[in-house]
Amino acid sequence: MQAAEFSTVAAAEQAAAELRRLVADYAIYEKTADAPWSEGAVPAPLCEFGRRHGVPWPGDATSRFLLKGLFNDEANVLSVDRLVFFWGGGFDLGGAWLREVLLRGLGAVHSTDAPRLVVRVDDPEARAAASAEFLVEEDYEEPFTTTDDALRDRALFTITFERDGDRVHLTFDDSGGQDWAFVAMLPQLSGDDPTLRPSS
């Protein structure tokens, strides 16, 4: 999963629009190219996406996106306040090249392929408990853990609710079910101005 933080909601929405344009262009490429998934294919939409944002996309196999199924069906874009997420079935779409576009071309403050979110709230314990209840109601009772700082770094994705040094973490590992549990939580953070915890 790719994630990026922007300085304003408007900037995040613009970045999300650019990623949705990429998805639409890639869907057309899949339908019209003679052999879009052949070993030597260099997807034109990716090269154009990089050119449009001032980041040369590699013209070789490293430029390809790997997905199970059609791009239009599997690629997802979601914006939550100042954050933008881009993923497809757990794959790291675009890798370092896409993060370079997000940072240099679209003006992200931070970008990562292992999002660790921070949400500042009045009562971290209560908010974590409410989030856990939501995940259980959505049939995600297994794919997440509520934990303390000691275990946080073992997870790929985290959501930390904090206030004045008090914090509670929801952690999600790198597995299909846990990916979707994390994704299910993202819209629940809308309006809370979640941020990315910069890599140490």
- What ranges do the domains of the chain cover? 2-112, 116-196
Rounded CA separation 51/54 (Å):
5
How many CB atoms within 10 Å of residue 185? 23
DSSP single-letter state for residue 127: H
Whether residue 150 is predicted with pLDDT greater than 70 in this model: the reply is no
Rounded CA separation 182/116 (Å):
11
Whether residue 60 is predicted with pLDDT greater than 60 in this model: the reply is yes
- pLDDT, residue 90, reads 54
Whether residue 145 is predicted with pLDDT greater than 50 in this model: the reply is yes
Q: Which long-range contacts (CB under 8 A, 24 or more apart) does 52-60 make?
A: 52/105, 53/18, 53/101, 53/104, 53/105, 53/106, 54/104, 54/105, 55/97, 55/100, 55/101, 55/104, 55/105, 57/97, 58/97
pLDDT digits (tens, 9 = 90+) for 99-110: 888 888 899 999
- pLDDT, residue 199, reads 62
Structural tokens at position 2: 């790719």
Percent of the chain scored above 90 by pLDDT? 48
Q: Tell me if 64 sits within 8 A of 85, measured CB to CB.
A: no
Nearest to 116 by CA among 8, 12, 188, 198: 198
Whether residue 164 is predicted with pLDDT greater than 70 in this model: the reply is yes
Rounded CA separation 168/146 (Å):
7
Whether residue 200 is predicted with pLDDT greater than 50 in this model: the reply is no
Mean pLDDT of 46-58: 87
pLDDT digits (tens, 9 = 90+) for 113-126: 889 999 999 999 99
> Which has the higher per-residue pLDDT, 38 or 115?
115
For residue 62, name the pLDDT band (cuts at 50, 70, 90). Answer: low
Q: Which of 62-66, 83-87, 155-159 has the lowest mean pLDDT?
A: 62-66
For residue 186, name the pLDDT band (cuts at 50, 70, 90). Answer: very high
Rounded CA separation 12/81 (Å):
7
Rounded CA separation 181/41 (Å):
34
Question: For the whole model, what pTM was predicted?
Answer: 0.89
